[in-house]
Chain A
Amino acid sequence: MKLDEIKNIIDDKFSDKIKIFLDVNEINIDVEKSIFYDFCKFLKNNSNLKLDFLSDISGVDYLDYGKSYWETVDSTSKGFSRAHKSDLLYFLYMKNRFCVSYHFLSYQFNFRLRLRVFVDLSDMRVDSVVSLWPTANWHERELYDFFGVIFVGHPNLIRILTDYGFEGHPLRKDFPLTGEYEIRYDENKEKIVREASQIKRVINTPKIIRKDFRYR
């Protein structure tokens, strides 16, 4: 299914609250949080779309988006122009730190669609879609676990993949790779104790952003 066809199918009442575009030849829709649930309902029930299969829900934390560890701007003015100044435009346009992206598939029309909804720390609530696609249940629990997104209307929103008694949301970009706590057996106390992690993080390769026009 083409982008234009989908644009035609989607109701006018949503048109000012959504943004449809192609990203790497994949159909992407950004939707505002206020109409998110209604829009999902529309996607599922519209007979021309029939997005009856939700394949995945994933979260993205855009905190470090477009930031490199190793600034190579100075070399640009002096030498050849392979270094590139990081632009944060992509992040600024979104304004919100977190994104929840849903990947749909329509069995009948055989096309995929990505739906993104943005949330910020001030209000981490998103409507749950478990009532529309029951498979969302564990995906949403995982997102709550990893990012702290709160799904309103979820039947059982508890942690799923991290340890019992875990604190924090590990896939946020400000959560250290080495973790915040480490657990060891204390011989004097004769029990397992939890302490602040002593591991120092070593970055072997810095994250580098270069402008590369060869591919697209």
Chain B
Amino acid sequence: MNNIDHYKMNFGPQHPAAHGVMRLVLDLDGEVIKKIDAHAGLLHRSIEKICENNLYTQNVGYMDRLDYVSMMTNEHSYVLAIEKLLNINPPIRALYIRTMFDEITRLLNHLLWLGAHALDIGAMALFLYCFREREDLMDCYEATTGGRLHVAYYRPGGVYRDLPNSMPKYKGKEFGEKRLKELNYNRDGSLLDFISDFVARFPNLVDEYETLLTDNRIWKQRTVGIGVVSPERAIALGFTGPMLRGSGVEWDLRKKQPYAVYDKLEFKIPVGSNGDCYDRYLVRVAEMRESNKIIKQCIDWLYKNPGPVMLENSKITPPLRMDMKTSMEALIHHFKYFSEGFIVPKGEVYAAIEQPKGEFGIYIVSDGSNKPYRVKMRAPSYVHLSAIDELARGHLIADLVTIIGTLDIVLGDMDR
């Protein structure tokens, strides 16, 4: 019989644990991984090239489609870059709304990550619980913007519209009167009432997830000591976000280089110590609790302080619908804004924010025209996946699934 040391195996392109279309060519010795050759780009749509040929405002929608699990944070980065170039500051209420939705997005992302990660490793039930909460948060998205995933809500100069005063309700005879009352119990007030109800419930729900996982023997066996990264190595490999904090580096752009109104809010940076999958899990769960606190503070502020949510500068923001009925100027501005767009002054700018997955940066080169000359996205998933070879070497194939899960990659973000 021939003695075969190494053999190759394809992981993907269609594999449920790969979280999308990603091909890994594994070099195996028995079941031990010797080398991984990651083939990225199966979802490449050339968004950067498309962006170069669109107006600045048209690109906001493409940002949602990069990382389709943390939509609004991508928009935030893009909008920040344009605002830096234009040298404008949105109204304070818009900044609070952005902060609140950034954190809602972080919850959305971490909930999906937690559910899918647990499902990959074998904890079935958690996926359903996480998606139950995601549904409430998506309703917030929908009530505010009309979209559940691809919302295009942040605009240069503010956010598209103010928070709604009413929540949509469940209707229909098929539910029955009693069930309808249950479903609509927190939907009588405004959106802020709805979110504050959620914020009050959420810490208990996180406790629920933790009882299922944190001290679970199987969960610990599958995650402790898997994919260990030292702090120095994490920095060298370009890790950001929970991947970096899991290794014990206390770095969070929200604290260190604050944008929006993070400098006015109180929250902590959770940090791990061992740099393995289990610590990163703990960091992300702790982050959910911190996000919850931030949302609470934003709601309190938003209740008390009504005001404009968009700059009233018709050269860079669209005029109000109401004005367009009576004002000639507003009609002209509207036409120019949506046909020609606005001119962004010359310059190069890099705007980075703390996306749920890590540092998401947008590099815009402007040549003083109405289209960005070059848009480059710094996608955290791309950087994290590039280290998979190093993380997974010497582990078993089953652990590879854990490691892909802990990287929290989204292929739309990675392949762009």
Contact = CB atoms under 8 A, between A and B. Distances in A.
B350 A114 contact: yes
B238 interface: yes
Interface in B376-416: 376, 378, 382-383, 385-387, 415-416
A110 interface: yes
Interface of B: 40-41, 44, 46, 48-50, 53, 55, 84-88, 235-238, 240, 249, 251, 256-257, 315, 339-341, 343, 345-350, 352, 359, 361, 363, 365, 367-371, 373-374, 376, 378, 382-383, 385-387, 415-416
A64 to B, nearest CB: 8
B238 A160 contact: no
A66 B367 contact: yes
Interface stretch (A5-13, A31-39, A132-140): A132-140
18 contacts: A55-B378, A58-B374, A61-B374, A103-B378, A110-B256, A135-B386, A138-B40, A138-B385, A138-B386, A161-B41, A161-B44, A175-B49, A177-B49, A205-B341, A205-B370, A209-B368, A210-B368, A215-B87
A110 B252 CA distance: 11
Given A24-B84, A56-B378, A209-B343, A162 B359 contact: no
Given A103-B361, A208-B340, A56 B376 contact: yes
A96 interface: no
Given A107-B251, A138-B382, A177-B49, A114 B348 contact: yes
The 3 closest A-B pairs by CB, nearest first: A135-B238, A161-B41, A58-B376
Interface in A21-60: 23-26, 28, 52-56, 58-60
Contacts of B359: 55
Contacts of B84: 24-25
Interface residues of A, number: 50
Interface in A162-216: 162-163, 170-171, 175, 177, 203, 205, 207-212, 214-216
B235 A52 contact: yes
A114 B376 CA distance: 14
Contacts of A134: 236-238
Given A24-B85, A54-B238, A60 B365 contact: yes
> Chain A's interface: helix, strand, loop or mixed, by majority?
loop
A187 B374 CA distance: 40
Given A114-B350, A177-B53, A56 B371 contact: no
A45 B256 CA distance: 22
A142 B129 CA distance: 39
A163 B44 CA distance: 9
Given A103-B361, A133-B236, A161 B368 contact: no
Nearest to B414: A161
A160 B41 contact: yes
A10 B14 CA distance: 50
B346 A90 contact: yes
B98 to A, nearest CB: 21
Given A68-B369, A133-B238, A101 B348 contact: yes
Interface string A54-88: 11101111001110100000000000000010000
A200 to B, nearest CB: 14
B376 A216 contact: no
A90 B386 contact: no
